[in-house]
Copies of this chain bind each other. A is one copy, B any other.
Amino acid sequence: METESVLTDTAVEQLDAHWRALNYLAACQLYLRDNPLLTEHLRPEHIKPRLLGHWGTCPGLTLVYTHLNRLISQRDLDTVCVWGPGHGGPAVLAGAWLDGSYGELEPDLGRDLAGMLRLFRRFSTPGGVPSHAAPQVPGSFHEGGELGYSLAHAYGAALDNPGLLVACVIGDGEAETGPLAASWQANTFLDPVHDGAVLPILHLNGYKIANPTVSARLPAEQLDALLRGYGHEPLYVTATLDSDPARVHRDLAAALDLAADRIAGHQRAAREQGERRRPRWPMIVLRTPKGWTGPVEVDGVPVAGTWRAHQVPLTRVREDPARLRQLELWLRSYLPQELFDETGRPRGTVLACVPPGDRRLGANPHANGGRLLRELPLPDLAAFAVPVDKPGAGRHEPTRVLAGLLRQVMADTAERRDFRVVGPDETASNRLAELYDVTDKTWQAELLDTDEHLGPHGRVMEVLSEHLCQGWMEGYVLTGRHGLFSTYEAFAHIVDSMAAQHVKWIGTARTVPWRAPVAALTYLLTSHVWRQDHNGFSHQDPGFVDHILNKSPEVVRVYLPPDANTLLCVADHVLRTRNVVNVVVAGKQQCFDWLDLEEARAHCARGAGIWEWAGTERPDSGPDVVLACAGDVPTQEALAAASLLREHLPEVGVRVVNVVDISRLQPHEEHPHGMTDPEFDALFTRDRPVIFAYHGYPWLIHRLAYRRAVHASLHVRGYKEMGTTTTPFDMVVSNDLDRYRLVMDVIDRVPRLAVRAAAVRQAMEDVRHRHHDWVRAHGVDLPEVAEWSWPE
C-alpha cells in the first residue's frame, strides 16, 4: 500500500474496540447460552448443547464491518454491503446488534444483557436465525448459503442508485464459482452517471471447507494481472497471524479512503466532465488469516490461519474442561469488560465509528428495498391490445405485442429509472426490440459505427450469462425496483438453483415482520420448446416450471397465456405483484388471437375457464369429453382438434377449457390460487374423460390434479423429451400433442360412438403418417397443417 494513513491513535483504538466487540459477539453466538459477559468463569451449562456455526470467515467480515462504519461516518456515505461468504451470519448479526438497528427492528434484541443473550441464543438454534446473512439479518439483501451471487447482487443494487456505494465482500471460496467469475464483467455495464458504485472486497482468507483456495495461492503478480484484467485497480491490505491489528486498521482505512476518493473522482469525471471512457474502478484485496484472533492451536495442531478454523474451532468444550478454559481465554482476549458496561451496553469507544440512523449498515433502507418501492406506472392495455373480432381470425407474435407495453413502461420510468429488462442477448430475438425506441442496451465498452441500440445509459441489459442476468435482477428487485428477465425457456434451467434460492429468500422474508414487500421477480420464458426449428434438442426443455412449482406455493406463480392479449393481461398483473416469483411462458412466433382484450381480462382474472365458442357441448347434458389446454401451441392444437371433431363427429359434446394460471389446478389448500373442488369440477367435470394438451412435461398436470375427482379419467399430452431439429408440426406429432392425436384420444375415450368414429380415427392416423413422410421429403410441414386456421 502506497497510501498514507490518516488515522489518529485514538481513532485506531476506537476501530479496534469496535472490531473486538464484533469478534466477541460473533464468537459468543457460536458458543454461549448464558454468562454473556463472562462475569463468571465459563461452566459447561453456559455452553450451547450443539455447537453450530462458522468462525473462520467472521473476523475478516467484522473487520470490514468496522471499517465501512468509519468510512460511512466520515463521508456521510449512503452504503450497503453484500456479505458474500456464506456462513458469515454471526459477523453481520453482531454488527447490526452493535449499531442498534437490530434492536430497533426487534425490540427484544436491544443493546443490553438480555438482548445480547438473545442474540447469542437465537443464532443457529432450532427456530432461530441461520448462520448465513439470511432475510432475518438486518442490512442483508443477500443470503450467501449458496455461494457465487454476491457480486451480481451488488451490481443489481447499484444500478440506478447514483448516490449509493455498494461494498461487496467476496470470499475466496465463492470466487471459484462460475457465477461469481462471470460477475466481474458486470463493470462493463455499470453507468457511472446513473448508477452507483460497487466496491468489491476480495477477502482472501486462504481456505474453503477443507482446501486452500485457488485465488489465495496464485502468485501475487498473476492475481494482480487477473484483477486488472477484470478492469479494476486493486488495492491490497494484508494481515498475517503476526500482524499488529493497529497497522492493519491503518492500512485498511487508507485503502478504503483511497477507493472512495477514486470512486468519487470517476463519478465526477463522468457526471460533470462528460468523461466517456469506462473507469478503472478500485477494489480491495483483503488478505487475513482464516479464523484470525481465534485459537491458534488446538491440541498442538494449527487452527487459526488454516482450513481447520472453518467451522467451530474448539469443539467438545462442554465435555472437556481444558477446552472450556481455552474457550474462555479466547473470548476474554477481546476484553469484553472494556467493550461493554455491566448492563451489556456497548461503551462509547466501541460505538465511536458507528454512523447514525439510516446510514447504519443494519438500517439502510436499500437493504430492505420494499421501503423504497414505488408502484410502476402501468398504462391502459387498450393501447397495445390486438383487435379480435372473432377467435382465430388473426395472428400475432405475442411477445412482440408485449413489447409495446414494456416500451411504454420503460418510457414512463425514464426519469425514475426503476425498471429494467435483462436477458442473455435475446431481447431482439425474443421480439422485444421495440424497447430500443425508448432506451438503449447499456454498454460502457468501446462503441463502433456499426453498433445499434448500444449506449452508456440504457436500461436493457444483455450479457450471455443467465447467472449474471438473474443476479442483477435479484439485486435490483431486492433493493426496491422492478424488472423483467426474458430468456430462452430451456436455458432457464441454468439458473434453477439461483431461482430456488430467491424463492427461499422471499418465502422467509414474508415471515420477517420488518421486511417490506418487494416487487416480483418475473421470468418471461420464450423461444420455447415447441419452436426450436434450427436449434433442436438441446434447446427443448420446458422443465423450469416443474422446478419452480416444487417451491413454496405462497411465492411461486406460473402463467401460460395462450395468445397476445392474454399475455398483455398477465404482464399487467405480474408487474403489480409483490413478494412472489412469476414465470410467464409465451411464444414469440405467430400465434392465433383467440380473445379480445375484455375477454382476455376476464379469462386471466379467472385463471382458467371454458371457451364456449370453441366447444360443441349441449347446455343440458354436460360434455361428453373435456379438451383442456395450457400454453399457446397446445391451445392451437386443442382448438384444431375441436374443429376436427365438430366437422367429423359433431355428435360428440366437446368442452374446451383453457388454463392460464397453472396453479389453479392445485387444491386450494395447497396453493393460494388453487381451485376448490366444486370450482374444479365445474370446469373439468367429475367423471368425463379429460384430454389435457399441456405445454410441458405431462406428469406435471397429474401432479397438480391427482386429488381431483376426475383424475382417474384425466389423460395428459405434452412434451415427452422427443426433441430434435425439425418443423413445428413435426415436433407436436413426435410428442403426440398434435390435433390428430388429440382427436384419436377423444375417440378412444368417449364411449358409445357411432361406427363412423373408427373411420375418422383411421383418417387421423393416416394424416399423421402422411405428415411424417411429407416432412422428410420436403423439409416443411404439410400444407393443410401449415395453412390451417380456425374455421369461420
Q: Which residues of A contact B (CB under 8 A)?
A: 33, 48-50, 52-54, 124-132, 134, 143, 145-148, 173-174, 176-185, 188, 208-214, 217-219, 222-231, 302, 305-306, 311, 425-429, 441, 443, 445-446, 448, 450-451, 454, 462-468, 490-491, 493-494, 496-497, 500-501, 504, 507-508, 533-539, 541, 543, 546-547, 550-552, 697, 699-700, 702-703, 706, 711-712, 721, 723-727, 730, 775-776, 778-780
Contacts and interface: CB of A to CB of B under 8 A. Distances in A.
A146 B188 CA distance: 23
B212 A445 contact: yes
B534 A425 contact: no
A311 B534 CA distance: 10
Contacts of A536: 130-132, 134, 145
A317 to B, nearest CB: 15
Contact of A212 (B127, B185, B443, B534): B443
A518 to B, nearest CB: 18
B306 A450 contact: yes
Q: What secondary structure prevails in chain A residues at the interface with B?
A: loop
Given A225-B228, A229-B222, A145 B537 contact: yes
Interface centre among A146, A427, A428, A697 (most CB of B within 10 A): A146
Contact of A496 (B50, B178, B454, B493): B493
A102 to B, nearest CB: 18
Given A229-B223, A493-B496, A533-B50, A779 B126 contact: yes
B508 A537 contact: yes
A500 B445 CA distance: 35
Contacts of A466: 177
A543 B550 contact: yes
Contact of A178 (B33, B177, B451, B508): B177
Contacts of A465: 176-178
A126 B726 contact: yes
A448 B546 CA distance: 47
A538 B188 contact: no
B176 A212 contact: no
A211 B724 contact: no
A448 B212 contact: yes
A493 B504 contact: no
A464 B176 contact: yes
Interface centre among A450, A537, A538, A778 (most CB of B within 10 A): A538
B126 A725 contact: yes
22 contacts: A33-B779, A50-B727, A52-B725, A124-B725, A126-B727, A131-B535, A145-B538, A147-B464, A173-B464, A176-B182, A176-B463, A176-B465, A177-B465, A178-B179, A181-B182, A181-B184, A181-B185, A208-B425, A209-B426, A224-B229, A508-B537, A551-B721
Given A126-B726, A229-B226, A425-B208, A217 B446 contact: yes
Contacts of A224: 229
Contacts of A462: 210-211
Nearest to A697: B550
Nearest to A497: B493
Nearest to A541: B500
B725 A49 contact: no
Contacts of A537: 130, 134, 145, 504, 508
A126 B775 contact: yes
A500 to B, nearest CB: 6
A542 B712 CA distance: 28
A730 B222 contact: no
B463 A126 contact: no
